[in-house]
Amino acid sequence: MVERHAQAAGPLSINGRLFVQGQNVVMGYDAYNGLKLWEREIRGAIRCGTRRHVSNLAASADSLFVAVGEKCLCLDPARGFTR
């Protein structure tokens, strides 16, 4: 996990799933019981300094979006694979 003083983006929750970023990793959890559903290594998938910048995570009912550099990955929220 990123240390809290780096002001990393907070967890994102939608449809009973919680998405959390770490150093070069994004993880999906069941928001009701805390069970880790998946973990995906994505180099550069961290954004710090969110006091000045926005998060690089967004979600819709059926997708998790992760902005990495100049790309935006669309992930399956249940399993973490790239769509």
Please give the model's pTM, rounded to 2 decimal places. Answer: 0.81
Query: 63 to each of 2, 13, 25, 38, how far by Cα in Å?
Result: 24, 12, 17, 14
Whether residue 61 lies inside any domain: the answer is yes
Q: How many domains does the chain have?
A: 1
pLDDT (average), residues 13-41: 93
- Among all chains, which residue has been given the structure tokens 């694979």? 81
Whether residue 33 lies inside any domain: the answer is yes
Separation of alpha carbons 77 and 37, rounded Å? 9
CATH number at residue 44: 2.40.10.480
Q: What is the pLDDT of residues 50-64, one digit of tens each?
A: 555 677 889 999 999
Separation of alpha carbons 50 and 40, rounded Å? 22
Containing domain of residue 28, as a range? 4-75
- Is the per-residue pLDDT at 29 higher than 90? yes
